[in-house]
Each structure stands twice: as structure tokens, then as C-alpha cells.
Structure 1
Amino acid sequence: MSPDGLWSIGELAEQAGVTVKTVRFYSDSGLLPEAARSSGGHRRYGADALDRLRTIRALRTLDLPVPDVERVLSAGGDGAGGDGSDGGGGGLAYEALEEVVADRLRGIGTQLSALRWQEAALRLLHDCPPEERAERLRLVGAVTVPPSTDALARFWRRWLPPRLPAAVRAAVVEQAVPQLPDDPAPHQVLAFARLHAFVTGPCPGGVVRDDCQPAAHRVDEGYRPEVLYLGLAEAFALADPVLRSGRPPGAGEELDAFVGAYAAARGVRDTGEFRWGLSRVLAGDPRIDRYWELVTVLTGEPNPGVAHEWLSDALNTTLQ
């Protein structure tokens, strides 16, 4: 260091093991303030500049953007850390550092998720028979990376009854929209791509979307959908362990809760006559079985659609 206690830009760069260009860049970015200028207009840096430069380099090595580095250093003020001392941190503010590191971790997580989906999608295309490659490419190419379930949520908001209370609607959508795997296998990527195509395509069978609604969604049928969906949630919860056990469809409290949900929604009693009528109504309802089949492939877990199908079969079994 010079007799005046200041570094030249070359001296500082040499001590830090970086190039003069790097020091100049950080100075011009406002990350590394100059202490003074020489009589010839050359930059001069104070004794704390070396620690600050090393801190900047450490943060940049972690790929933190320059604005985030500036945020950490600026919040650190004159070098005091979050505990009142700099600890050799070059003016680190530890609370700000924790926040930007957390943000960076979230960003890396998103990038890793995207890479895993891309890898699985590429394997899907690489390993499939040549005659299927064009169709799979079209399906996979329609999905963003990393994938989003927004289209699935929109499908359910559009498909559910319009007057359903917001809290009930949100609960149904949350249950119906699957969680995507962090590290998908190729078959799961294909299942999600087909699921995305299903919810963004025309209504099954080419009918008008309004005609895709089951009877319980139509006001003129006398149903109270909010009562139905609250009751169905209970029935599905009861059916979950039964489905996992592999028990064939039949009588039980889960079936009683299922039929009871439809009866309560109509404001009638659960009778044998009602069960016969309900069986006929369910058999005639529009189906979205394909949605639930793909969700099963995607998650490998029981879901409301599987539960509804099992309970419908249980109803028919008990009526035979």
C-alpha cells in the first residue's frame, strides 16, 4: 500500500488476484467506491477495499446478480453486519444476505426442475418408437418448462357450477389439480402433456362445453352443488383407505356418505328408490374419466375421480 494508505487500481487488483478490468467494472457498477483520485485522475482505494472486493467476488461466484450484491453491501452500510460487527465480511448485512441467498435457492430450484422435465421429455422422445415421435413432440412442445398446472385449474373453475361458494370451489380445485413430481419419469411427462391437451382441447365427444356438465351442476335439476361437494369430500376421504387396500366395490360407510351427499344436495332422504334413480343419473352423466386416468399415471395415487368411479360401482353392486 502507498504511503498515503491508499491502493492504486493495479495494486488492489494484484492483491485480490483479479484483473484491473474487474476492479474497474465493480467500481463503475457502484459496488466498490473509490476513496479518492490521484492528481492524475487515477482511482485510489482505501484499506477496506480489499475485503469488500473479496466479498463481491465471493457473492458473484455464487452467481448472485449485481443488484443483489449491491443490496447486500448497501444494507451493510459502513461494514457493520447484522450483529453489529463486520466480522471481516466487507460490509455484509446478514439479513439481506439471507434474503438474496433464499431467492437464489428458489431460482436454482426452478432451473433444476426445468432441467429434470427437459431431460425426461428428451428421454421420452429418444426412447419411443419412431412412428410415435412426431405426436409426442407435439404434445410435449405444447407444455411450458418448467410445467404449470394453471390450465388444469382453469379447466376446473370453468367446469364447476358458477354459483359454487369461493371457499368450496378453491377446495375442489386444490384437490382436483395434481402436484407435479420434482423428478419425473418420461411416462409422467407424457401423462402430463396428454392431461394438458385434454383440458385445453374441445369437450370430449365434440359436444358444447356447457353440455359437459353432470346433472348435479345444473340448477334446474334441483341440486345444491355446495352441499354436494362438501359431502363428496367426506365420502372420498372415507374411500381413500379402502382404495389403497384394494377392496372391491361394495357396501360400507363410504358408500353411505357418497349417496348421502347426493341426497342432501337434493334435500331428500336416502332411500332405495333414490339409490336406483341416482345410479341411472350417474350412468348418464358426461364423463371425464380420461382426466383422472392421466392423473393416476402422473401421481400413482388415488384421486377423487378414482374414488367417484369406485363409489359409483359400489352403488351399482349393491343394487344388483
Structure 2
Amino acid sequence: MNGDVTYTIGELARRTGLTVKTVRFYSDQGIVSPADRNPAGHRRYGADAVARLELVRTLRELGLGLPAIRRVVERELTPAEVAAAQAEAIDLRIRVLRLRRAVLGAVARLGSTPEELTLVHRLARLTEDERGRLIAEFLSGVFGGIGGDERFSAVARSLTPELPEDPSVEQVEAWVELAQLAGDSGFRALLRGLARAEAAEAAIAEERAGTGLPRPGLAVAVRELAGPAVAAGVDPGSAEAAAVVAELVERYGQWCAGAVPGDTGALRDRLAERLGAMADPRRERYLELLAVVNQWAVPESWAAEVDWAVRAVA
């Protein structure tokens, strides 16, 4: 192209695909300067103005503001630096938009009220540190100060959700519901009661190590004893079920030696209370939600066995 060729604003606009108003604006801002003026005082632009404006248009399409554009065209920033920074900004924007989409999907599915919408949005937009503090407070309220802290610290880690940077709608929904459970004081008290009971049983096991008694673990016992009964369709109120209950009460009495009066009625009442807490659907729901958030395998459900034991012991 001949370096002596010049263009009017209109010609420059047609060559670059910009409007005359836009070209004039960039000219007034000093982004592109006229090479000279014709006798009538109208601006004339050189060939380099075409290249500059095409670069400006590209940068604007990438979302850069005027200050950044000025730094690029004045060579304070290289195109590579601009591209890297803009790619990072776009990635961040994409993550924000995906999170927003996931939140809206959760709200649409859950049919939230205006108040619930606010809560869902707040929970979903928590930063990683804020989510960590929320869960840490919840787990501290469950396990803090209970004997055998070292053992429970591992359990607490296994109950910690970690929402990824780019969550799916399902993960956001699961996180929001899980966070609501974590904020439920009744659920926290329920888990703390279960943790206390398990810690007490573990302490008794340590005192009586080597005696040959079955290892404490009510959940394990329920699976071992109630599992076959459920599979066989045994009625919880039948004589066959009574034999299973007798074995369960006997094991529980061994684990609670000294902590509960020795008569069968007291042990059975205490066992019924423990089983009732284990049967609370919030407990299993937390584990299901945790698996979704952390992309773990769906945990095996023992709800049927626990429910059978609750009805059989009652």
C-alpha cells in the first residue's frame, strides 16, 4: 500500500467496519491520530490508522477497556500479554456464569421462595475459605471435645465437602442442601450424640481388649444381624425377629457395661434410642450429598436394615 495514501473518516470507517462516530471517538482519545488535514480542515488518516483500528476492534471484542487498549497500541503491553490476561479473565467469567447458571438451576428445581432464593444464592457464592469455615464450624460442633479426638479427626476429614471451581448444577444443589444441613442445630446435636455414644463404646472396648468380646460398632452389628433378616423378609414383630433383637441387645449390653443398668429393659430402651438416632434420614442424606459434591461413589445405604432394627426393637 502506498504510504502517501490518506483516508477520510468515512473511508477509514468503511475499511475497518467501524462507524464514523466510533472512529471519531478513538481519534479524539488519541488512540489513532490524523496524518494531516485537508484544506477544509477535515482530518485525513494514513494507512497505519487502518491497522491500528483493526487492532482496537479486536481488543474491544475481547472485552478490553480503553486504558488497556491504549497501553497495547502504545506498545506498553505486548499482544501476548494482553491475550494471556484476557484469557484468564474470560476463564473467571465463565466460572462465574456457570456457577450462576447452576444456582438458577437449583432454584428452579427446588421451587424456592424469595427468602430461600436469597439463602441459596448466598450459600452458592461463598468463597472456598468461607465454605471451609462453615463446614469446620459444623464438624467442630459435632466432634469437638469428645474423647478420642484423633480418631474422630479422620472421620471429620471424610465428612468434608470440597466444591470444585467449576461445579455442575447437581453439585451446587448438593452443596446448598448440605450447607443447610450443616447449619441445622438439631442435626448437629443428633450427630454429636452419635459421636459421644461411639466414643464411649470405643473406650469400653479399649478397657476390655483381649477379652474376646465382639468389637463395638452398632452400625456393624445392625448390618450383620438385621441384614439377613431384611433380605429374608422377616417380619420385625415375629418370633424370628425377636431372636435377632435378643442377640443385638446382648451385644449392646457388653459394649455398654457399667454405663447402663444391667436389666434388659434399660438396655433395650437405650438401644432403641441409639437406633432411632441412626435412622434419622438426615444422616444418610448428608453422606449422599457429600458424595455428589466430592464426586465420590454413591455410598451404600443401610437405611432398610436400620429401619427394620428400629421397628423390631421398639
> How much does 1:21 deviate?
1.3
Q: Does 1:193 align with 2:188?
A: no
Aligned counterparts, 1:107-126, within 5 A: 107-122=93-108, 124=109
Structure number with the bigger relative contact order (C-alpha 8 A, sep ≥ 6) is 2
Whole-Å Cα distance in 2 between the matches of residues 154 and 51 of structure 1?
52
Q: Sort the Cα spacing of 1:199 and 1:136 in 2 relative to 1 into closer, same or farther, 3 A.
A: farther
Paired residue for 1:231? none
Q: Work out whether residues 10 and 20 of structure 1, in 8 Å CA contact, stay in contact via their aligned partners in 2.
A: yes
> How much does 1:294 deviate?
2.7
Q: TM-score, normalised by structure 2?
A: 0.52
Q: Does 1:153 align with 2:93?
A: no
Percent identity, aligned pairs only, is 27
Whole-Å Cα distance in 2 between the matches of residues 270 and 25 of structure 1?
88
> How much does 1:105 deviate?
3.1
Q: Work out whether residues 139 and 193 of structure 1, in 8 Å CA contact, stay in contact via their aligned partners in 2.
A: no
Q: Work out whether residues 16 and 50 of structure 1, in 8 Å CA contact, stay in contact via their aligned partners in 2.
A: yes
Q: Work out whether residues 72 and 79 of structure 2, in 8 Å CA contact, stay in contact via their aligned partners in 1.
A: yes
Whole-Å Cα distance in 1 between the matches of residues 198 and 51 of structure 2?
67
Paired residue for 2:33? 34
Paired residue for 1:176? 160
> How much does 1:20 deviate?
1.8
Q: Work out whether residues 6 and 45 of structure 2, in 8 Å CA contact, stay in contact via their aligned partners in 1.
A: yes
Whole-Å Cα distance in 2 between the matches of residues 173 and 301 of structure 1?
14
Paired residue for 2:312? none
Q: Sort the Cα spacing of 1:276 and 1:145 in 2 relative to 1 into closer, same or farther, 3 A.
A: closer
Moved more, 293-302 or 50-59: 293-302
Q: Sort the Cα spacing of 1:140 and 1:294 in 2 relative to 1 into closer, same or farther, 3 A.
A: farther
Deviations 1:74-121 (A, max 9, x none): 4466xxxxxxxxxxxxxx522332332232233124313422442453
Secondary structure in 1 aligned to 2:185? coil
Task: State the number of aligned residues.
Answer: 239
Q: Sort the Cα spacing of 1:183 and 1:277 in 2 relative to 1 into closer, same or farther, 3 A.
A: closer
Q: Which amino acid is the alignment partner of residue 24 of structure 1?
A: R
Paired residue for 2:51? 51
Aligned counterparts, 1:243-262, within 5 A: none
Secondary structure in 2 aligned to 1:176? coil
Aligned CA-pair RMSD: 5.3
Whole-Å Cα distance in 2 between the matches of residues 14 and 297 of structure 1?
54
Q: Work out whether residues 192 and 294 of structure 1, in 8 Å CA contact, stay in contact via their aligned partners in 2.
A: yes
Whole-Å Cα distance in 1 between the matches of residues 287 and 61 of structure 2?
46
Q: Which amino acid is the alignment partner of residue 50 of structure 1?
A: V
Q: Sort the Cα spacing of 1:52 and 1:40 in 2 relative to 1 into closer, same or farther, 3 A.
A: same
Structure 1, unaligned runs of 5 or more: 78-91, 126-132, 222-258, 314-320
> How much does 1:57 deviate?
1.1
Q: Work out whether residues 123 and 176 of structure 2, in 8 Å CA contact, stay in contact via their aligned partners in 1.
A: no
Q: Work out whether residues 106 and 172 of structure 2, in 8 Å CA contact, stay in contact via their aligned partners in 1.
A: yes
Paired residue for 1:275? 215
Q: Which amino acid is the alignment partner of residue 143 of structure 1?
A: V
> How much does 1:42 deviate?
5.5
Whole-Å Cα distance in 1 between the matches of residues 153 and 125 of structure 2?
20
> How much does 1:22 deviate?
0.8
Q: Which amino acid is the alignment partner of residue 169 of structure 2?
A: P
Paired residue for 1:61? 61
Deviations 1:33-83 (A, max 9, x none): 315564877555443111111121123223344444445444466xxxxxx
> How much does 1:197 deviate?
1.8
Q: Sort the Cα spacing of 1:50 and 1:148 in 2 relative to 1 into closer, same or farther, 3 A.
A: same
Whole-Å Cα distance in 2 between the matches of residues 116 and 148 of structure 1?
11
Q: TM-score, normalised by structure 1?
A: 0.51
Q: Work out whether residues 203 and 212 of structure 1, in 8 Å CA contact, stay in contact via their aligned partners in 2.
A: no
Q: Which amino acid is the alignment partner of residue 183 of structure 1?
A: S
> How much does 1:15 deviate?
2.3
Whole-Å Cα distance in 2 between the matches of residues 55 and 157 of structure 1?
50
Deviations 1:211-266 (A, max 9, x none): 67944999xx9xxxxxxxxxxxxxxxxxxxxxxxxxxxxxxxxxxxxx9xx78xx8
Q: Sort the Cα spacing of 1:194 and 1:278 in 2 relative to 1 into closer, same or farther, 3 A.
A: closer
Whole-Å Cα distance in 2 between the matches of residues 170 and 116 of structure 1?
31
Paired residue for 1:142? 119
